[in-house]
Structure 1
């Protein structure tokens, strides 16, 4: 059997010198299979590079977007005189029919050629499980890196190992990568990008803040609330260059884009979470935003400037700064974030921030009375939630009484958030604790759908006094419209039906404290 096509699947973030030499030897008929038989290739055989996870980018697992990888393969192919075609294959979860997905995608993308067929297509693959899935479809598979004998003096590095060497500052990656890879990386600043992605302590390997968040419900809640949020912050923004940091799926920017005041403005959405930006880009592609001058950027503003110094007229952050506090180094990172915003703000420009807020007297000790008749009351907190599926966690936590949910929160919140949390049970649903800790629980208790993710976050880490210090310390002036306020919907719908606050000494019932903050900070002249 003589093959006229080599299907070479992989993420192809790097092309190594070994891979190029191997493909040349394969096309020249110099490679033997596992049975020590020469694999015959036609004189006009072509290599089809199937670039997998092509729509997944800016993460440690997939640092480069598909179009950059396609350009890399094309550049190396031309430089190395390899007859090549490139097909981008979308990212999918692990699936037993993955090989079929790749083959079908290639057939669809290269409709001018016969579809891959075991009679004419050889598969080059070194991942055992993936290789076996192609064999199950009838394809002959030849190893690439794993084709080297175990007795060889040195085993070839795989592309991903080359990327990891780069990320860890090992200059030997340049010797292992094909020269075309090195040139492509330097042209597009890939070494800096990869180093930043691998050193980011906040973002996971998948490009998200957390692996326990249900982004479907998370995004839906932001979209639902975006109209209300725009009513709160929109009139405070200045036209010009407007940046929404923590833009999620772009719901707030959608309202800004529809406002005639911002018809001539340039709008930017910045977020860390890849799943949210994917949806924002999809909305842009389908014409959702009235103002076409809109861009989305995946970045962590704490890692470096996102916008040039002094270039932004308005920055808006909604429900973001508590995540900076929670997933970073607490107040220190909020202060760093504030300095970064101040740096990119024009003189006279504004930063409008809306978020949750801790009570004015967070250290005051209070008694919190909770209902125990509104759900199940296990004797102790469950300690195996991390091992459950998200839906199982949601069902379990959602079925607990408010009192039992406090017991579970007292177990999960300190271990996941790293914050101190001490709540002493007095029996019959009564707990003694700090007011700040009481509000941490009350503002989190109803998020059963994202329980583990929400228990990673501190909603009450900063008070209004803290915010004044943070903003003035960053060189900004606090506008008189800034205010700490109480969300009375939370009081009537979430707090009052299940809880009461009491003074420890008198037993008197206490009023509910502030829950949210709106700060309007400007960059002064000089």
Structure 2
């Protein structure tokens, strides 16, 4: 008895893999071209193929677009001929995602043993590994396994055939017209091609994820966001309750959409209060989509109909006149930041107008810029609440950066901020040099001040405490439009803005958050305007807003 361990993401199978398996399964092991020596009986033939499907608990990214159950169906079809013709047994085993490391090969072996209740242990005496990834080949060699290198030519030190990921790239570059692409249809196995025809949602989903311009390879908006920290901040019970209280009186029953729903925390409250409505969550990142589905599995939405889509909000998702309430909670500033700023946000808001039914409501709760953004102000920052040394220290990881930033004084952190703010965007040529914060230093009555625009002062004051996600948060702009500018833009699109000073909980409004003022701003930074030779304290401008906008109608209680 001999096992063939075939690890991989198995997103599709290739014609090369099919032919290669036919060639090796017919021969005794001592006739195979192995890298390394097989420790078992060379007269044996391989009688069991173990497809170890790596990253099986991930989906919805370019790296892992297909869920495990769909990969399993395709592998079962792919291996059917070997079972029928040669009597070979096959196993399909889910291996969770591990970040690449020097123990990855060993983890696969351990995971397989755990999955089989330790009834089967794969060793160099009973197992051959099939693998074309050089780093993994070397790991299994160190563990004593003989390896079939498949697509990898050991002598030439290069691949001699395209790999599954190469064919996915080819598929994406052909705009999904794979049946018309001769290179694709000759290089991909017949099993995969039939599977795609039988399940057309699979290639459709792959193409959507591969063509999305905002997503990274891992299905995220940025490479540096710590999702656990981000979700903890967004979903903190007191903060979540406050956000929900800001909007819940304005939600119209029917079909409710939470656009940019993150991990679905707000939707748990919506599901409780609007149990007779259909609640749809839209999220672009694969990590948060997975967390939403976990909430659903755990029953956190009760008996309410809740569904999630992983989509880019810049795409048309719903039919016109089909949505009763659209909620954008901390979403619009990300559309501005990761898209083409005003152009993207205006396009998005127009899509929201089109999708709303008559008298439907758009509810935006987000950050907001000050009214006098271009006003020159004097910013006094605390330089005694931390270190002022080695401000631009180069840190090797996010934890080191967090600790360094936490130890800086507020004044020193501002200086670091002016260099880091939108730096990644400028280096990626998504933003120009005009986005770099400009400031001057001055001394008045023996006190240090930074002289800059009010907009830039507020960008710093609202972001300075995001040390856990510093690199990610500094890709984003908060103060791009003032409250009055927001209302003007929405009116141009066709919305009616609800404003009722007698019922603020049902009214559009801009506001500051007292906890942030008391705990993050007071004693850290003070804003002044200059009047002649005197400086006058400027109250902190509003940092947040709720806008309630309706389509073709007025707000009805």
How far apart, in 2, do the equivalents of 1:483 and 1:245 lie?
A: 20
Cα distance change, pair 36–287 in 1 and its aligned pair in 2 (3 A): closer
Cα distance change, pair 151–141 in 1 and its aligned pair in 2 (3 A): closer
1:372 aligns to 2:378 (yes or no): no
Q: How does 1:23-42 map to 2 (within 5 A)?
A: 23-29=21-27, 31-34=32-35
1:197 aligns to 2:209 (yes or no): yes
Match of 2:168 in 1: 163
Indicate conservation of the 8 Å contact 2:37/2:145, yes or no: no
Once the two structures are TM-superposed, the CA of residue 88 in structure 1 deviates from its matched residue by: 1.4
Matched position secondary structure for 2:537: coil
1:248 aligns to 2:253 (yes or no): no
How far apart, in 1, do the equivalents of 2:204 and 2:417 lie?
A: 40
Indicate conservation of the 8 Å contact 1:372/1:429, yes or no: no
Once the two structures are TM-superposed, the CA of residue 62 in structure 1 deviates from its matched residue by: 1.4
Match of 2:19 in 1: 21
Q: How does 1:280-429 map to 2 (within 5 A)?
A: 280-302=292-314, 304-378=315-389, 381-382=391-392, 384=394, 387-417=395-425, 418=431, 419-427=435-443, 428-429=447-448
Cα distance change, pair 192–470 in 1 and its aligned pair in 2 (3 A): farther
Indicate conservation of the 8 Å contact 2:37/2:146, yes or no: no
How far apart, in 2, do the equivalents of 1:523 and 1:148 lie?
A: 65
In the superposition, the TM-score normalised over structure 1's length comes to 0.91
Match of 1:131 in 2: 137
Once the two structures are TM-superposed, the CA of residue 36 in structure 1 deviates from its matched residue by: 11
How far apart, in 1, do the equivalents of 2:83 and 2:519 lie?
A: 68
Cα distance change, pair 496–151 in 1 and its aligned pair in 2 (3 A): closer
Once the two structures are TM-superposed, the CA of residue 441 in structure 1 deviates from its matched residue by: 0.9
Match of 2:539 in 1: 511
Match of 1:467 in 2: 486
Indicate conservation of the 8 Å contact 1:484/1:517, yes or no: yes
Match of 1:488 in 2: 514
Indicate conservation of the 8 Å contact 2:36/2:141, yes or no: no
Cα distance change, pair 471–179 in 1 and its aligned pair in 2 (3 A): farther
Q: How does 1:202-213 map to 2 (within 5 A)?
A: 202-213=214-225
Once the two structures are TM-superposed, the CA of residue 151 in structure 1 deviates from its matched residue by: 11
Indicate conservation of the 8 Å contact 1:168/1:195, yes or no: no
How far apart, in 1, do the equivalents of 2:453 and 2:509 lie?
A: 23
How far apart, in 1, do the equivalents of 2:42 and 2:278 lie?
A: 57
Matched position secondary structure for 1:101: helix
Match of 2:76 in 1: 74
How far apart, in 2, do the equivalents of 1:340 and 1:79 lie?
A: 49
Indicate conservation of the 8 Å contact 1:414/1:421, yes or no: no
Indicate conservation of the 8 Å contact 2:74/2:192, yes or no: yes
How far apart, in 1, do the equivalents of 2:385 and 2:154 lie?
A: 64
Matched position secondary structure for 2:58: coil
Indicate conservation of the 8 Å contact 1:202/1:327, yes or no: yes
Q: Could you report, residue by residue, the CA deviation over 1:356-413 in whole angstroms, capped at 9, with x for unpaired residues?
A: 10001101111111121111113x74163xx521111111111111111111111111
How far apart, in 1, do the equivalents of 2:101 and 2:138 lie?
A: 13
Match of 2:58 in 1: 56
In the superposition, the TM-score normalised over structure 2's length comes to 0.86
Cα distance change, pair 335–40 in 1 and its aligned pair in 2 (3 A): farther
Match of 2:244 among 213, 216, 230: 230
Once the two structures are TM-superposed, the CA of residue 138 in structure 1 deviates from its matched residue by: 3.3
Q: How many matched pairs? A: 516
Match of 1:269 in 2: 281
Bigger mean CA offset, 392-401 vs 78-87: 78-87
Match of 2:503 in 1: none
Structure 1: tracts of 5 or more residues without a match:
none
Bigger mean CA offset, 107-116 vs 226-235: 107-116
Match of 1:497 among 496, 519, 523: 523
Matched position secondary structure for 1:60: coil
How far apart, in 1, do the equivalents of 2:333 and 2:67 lie?
A: 30
Once the two structures are TM-superposed, the CA of residue 42 in structure 1 deviates from its matched residue by: 5.1
Structure 2: tracts of 5 or more residues without a match:
176-180, 426-430, 500-506
Indicate conservation of the 8 Å contact 2:275/2:304, yes or no: no
Indicate conservation of the 8 Å contact 2:257/2:282, yes or no: yes
Once the two structures are TM-superposed, the CA of residue 463 in structure 1 deviates from its matched residue by: 1.4
Once the two structures are TM-superposed, the CA of residue 414 in structure 1 deviates from its matched residue by: 4.0
Q: Could you report, residue by residue, the CA deviation over 1:421-446 in whole angstroms, capped at 9, with x for unpaired residues?
A: 21111144301111111111111112
Let me know the Cα RMSD of the aligned residues: 2.7
Bigger mean CA offset, 445-454 vs 26-35: 26-35
Once the two structures are TM-superposed, the CA of residue 349 in structure 1 deviates from its matched residue by: 1.7
How far apart, in 2, do the equivalents of 1:213 and 1:43 lie?
A: 48
How far apart, in 1, do the equivalents of 2:317 and 2:235 lie?
A: 24
Cα distance change, pair 109–41 in 1 and its aligned pair in 2 (3 A): farther
Once the two structures are TM-superposed, the CA of residue 34 in structure 1 deviates from its matched residue by: 4.1
Matched position secondary structure for 2:469: helix
How far apart, in 2, do the equivalents of 1:205 and 1:161 lie?
A: 14
Cα distance change, pair 155–137 in 1 and its aligned pair in 2 (3 A): closer
Once the two structures are TM-superposed, the CA of residue 44 in structure 1 deviates from its matched residue by: 7.4
How far apart, in 2, do the equivalents of 1:101 and 1:432 lie?
A: 55
Cα distance change, pair 41–319 in 1 and its aligned pair in 2 (3 A): farther
Q: Could you report, residue by residue, the CA deviation over 1:46-77 in whole angstroms, capped at 9, with x for unpaired residues?
A: 32111100111111211212122112212222
